Structure 1
């Protein structure tokens, strides 16, 4: 049995100004979220990206091909009503940040982690005043309170739309530092994703690639790149 999908019921999608931002109209009717709230987004750039997704739909509407619409829905229906809780959850990644947990062996991996991850920890210390310290092994060791507080305050400062994108930047990499790095222009998003996969890449070099694992990783990579672009468009003029 094939999955049910709604048929396209409109001819065109246009962007209009609305109270508090911009909204997509389908043949003159404004979009609403699954929670029945007007789908008003903060920038025209996000609205235009959403409109393009709706224009690109064929005879049947496929939500899987509409990441901007999906993230905007999440920002309004899920993140905004529980902003402090979402921010707290993401800030907790700082105490177990991927970049801080280092291998004890082999020496080649230890050196590679130090070479490629230390500059990001240095960047966080320099740009945000939050110095996280690396640990050898897999046992948890708490980070100092001061840098965690700084990172938490910055996380709470994001708007619901920014926080919705930031959620994926952090959760997909397992790193609060990589998430923050992806919100600016100083670092390349593809390189940041590669840094989050450093351990997996090392294992693939030793034992070869697993096709299913590669496919799963590519899905996550595309989601990370989308979150990076969504965050950038939140700040577009």
Structure 2
């Protein structure tokens, strides 16, 4: 049986909102979650704004009966993956897509034995076979699958999420914001847009940290 580390609150092990033992697979994740919980007055609490704790609770309470549906949804989302939907103008942006996104698509193809090609916006990429990708997703633990699914939702890219876990790429947020960053370079920064971007970046980084904790001892 896999080792599980119980989460403690006020020196006592606790249950999830659904009554399951709140246990995680690594000591690093246990320590990170307990650090998030340090300022809480009571448990359970409205804690879902804390990324690591919320993801761990989802892995404990929600994912078990939903794995097949989550995996199927991720595979379907590949057809509208951000890194496959390019724009062909202006030329400077097209060049950035070639320099930044294309190597990531090629790396994903090599890892998953696929042959995905970017298309211009308003077209749909052709996904012929995703058997190795499906097998890979099925091999993930509940905690890894929750983290990957959340990262895919934040970045709109299964390609980025898979490469982050499997290959350790670090520029996940930068890749997902390529178009927005380019537009800001032309038109300047809007406060509300920058606030939204900063919040997404924070959550992406926290999700990557969550996934990193799953590989730690």
The normalised TM-score by structure 2 is: 0.90
Pick from 85, 99, 113 the counterpart of residue 115 of structure 1: 99
CA separation in 1, counterparts of 2:175 and 2:125? 22
Unaligned runs of 5+ in 1: 1-17
Partner of 2:56: 72
Cα 1:19–1:179, aligned 2, differ >3 Å: closer, same or farther?
closer
SS in 2 for 1:225: helix
CA contact (8 A) 1:21 1:40 kept: yes
Q: Say whether 1:193 aligns with 2:173.
A: yes
Q: How does 1:137-176 map to 2 (within 5 A)?
A: 137-143=121-127, 145-146=128-129, 148-176=130-158
CA separation in 1, counterparts of 2:116 and 2:110? 11
RMSD: 2.1
CA contact (8 A) 1:79 1:160 kept: yes
Decide which structure has the larger Cα Rg and report it. Answer: 1
Q: Say whether 1:99 aligns with 2:99.
A: no
Q: Say whether 1:229 aligns with 2:209.
A: yes
Cα 1:227–1:58, aligned 2, differ >3 Å: closer, same or farther?
closer
Partner of 2:184: 204
CA contact (8 A) 2:154 2:200 kept: yes
CA separation in 2, counterparts of 1:118 and 1:64? 35
Bigger mean CA offset, 59-68 vs 82-91: 59-68
CA separation in 1, counterparts of 2:35 and 2:172? 27
Q: Say whether 1:49 aligns with 2:32.
A: yes
Quote the offset at 1:186 in angstroms: 4.1
SS in 2 for 1:177: helix
Quote the offset at 1:198 in angstroms: 0.5
**Higher RCO structure, 1 or 2 (CA under 8 Å, sep 6+):** 2
CA contact (8 A) 1:168 1:223 kept: no
CA separation in 1, counterparts of 2:48 and 2:99? 37
Aligned length: 215
Cα 1:31–1:19, aligned 2, differ >3 Å: closer, same or farther?
farther
The CA deviation string for residues 138-181 of structure 1, in whole angstroms up to 9 with x for no partner, is 222432x22x2322221222111001110121111111110011
Unaligned runs of 5+ in 2: none
CA separation in 2, counterparts of 1:209 and 1:84? 41
SS in 2 for 1:32: coil
Quote the offset at 1:27 in angstroms: 3.7
SS in 2 for 1:166: helix
Partner of 2:199: 219
CA contact (8 A) 2:22 2:57 kept: yes
